[in-house]
Structure formats: C-alpha cells, structure tokens
Amino acid sequence: MATIAINQTNLNDAFNRGHLSQWASMTNTGADVGAPLECFGEADRSVQITGTFGVGGTLIIEGSNDGTNYATLKDHLGVALSLTAAGIYSVDQITRYLRPRVSAGDGTTSLTVTALSRRVAP
C-alpha cells in the first residue's frame, strides 16, 4: 500500500475559510491510500474525482475520528462514497479525518482527488 501525500492550500480570507486539498496519481497497482486530511471543524465538504478509473476502478472516500479506524463515508442522500465515475460528490458525515483509497482497478487506473472543506463562519 502506497500513501499519497496531500497538496494543500489554506483558504482563509474573509469569505473562504477551509482547505483545498489534492491527492494526485492514485493507482490500483500500489493499492494507494491518501494521507489523512485533518478537517476538524469544517462542516461543508465535497470531493472531485478526475482521471482514469480503468477496468473495475473504484475509489472510496473514508473518514475516521481516531485516525486509525476508517469507514466509508456517505453523500447527502445516504449513498456510500464508493465511486466508479469521475464527478463532484458531497460528503455528509463530519469526521476529524478524511482520506481517499483506491480499492480496485487495473494498470491504467490513475485518479486525482480534490477535496474542498469549509469552516462554518464564527
């Protein structure tokens, strides 16, 4: 399992408070998992998936409150974020940590995950 580092940008102006985070070139070859993003206190979250899923490619968005035990998160309709197509997806659960994980695919699987999280105004 290869851990993919986060490229993170803080959004801290008067209107945008939160993070824009990206995990690039995630593959099935190494059963890649994204380094955990700590987003405690950020209530609004979405993820954008781009790239090539390949045959059977699946990317799971996971969350954890203890940083050790992860579970698949769900969207606002209660649908598990076990994704097989590019797009932008909302994340419903509020967890301390969020990470993407490639769970299936072939040698062509190469995905980029971009997460946007926003803190509620004080």
3-119: CATH number: 2.60.120
> What average pLDDT does this structure show over 77-102?
95
Task: Indicate if the pLDDT at residue 122 is higher than 60.
Answer: no
Which distant-in-sequence residues (6+ apart) come within 8 Å of 89 by Cβ? 46, 47, 48, 49, 61, 75, 81, 83
Distances in whole angstroms, Cα of residue 11 to Cα of each of 7, 60, 61, 71, 88: 13, 25, 22, 27, 19
pTM: 0.90
Domain boundaries, given as residue ranges, for the chain: 3-119
CA–CA separation, 80 vs 54, rounded Å?
20
- State pLDDT tens for residues 28-39: 877 899 999 988
Task: Indicate if the pLDDT at residue 43 is higher than 80.
Answer: no
Instruction: Give the mean pLDDT of the chain.
Output: 89
Which distant-in-sequence residues (6+ apart) come within 8 Å of 60 by Cβ? 72, 81, 82, 83, 100, 101, 102, 103
Which pLDDT does position 53 carry in this prediction? 96
Among the listed ranges 40-49, 66-75, 80-89, which one has the minimum average pLDDT value? Answer: 40-49
Radius of gyration of the chain (CA): 14
- State pLDDT tens for residues 55-78: 999 999 999 999 999 999 999 999
- The beta-strand segments (E) located in 1-122 are 3-4, 7-12, 17-26, 33-34, 37-38, 42-52, 58-64, 71-72, 82-83, 87-90, 97-104, 110-119
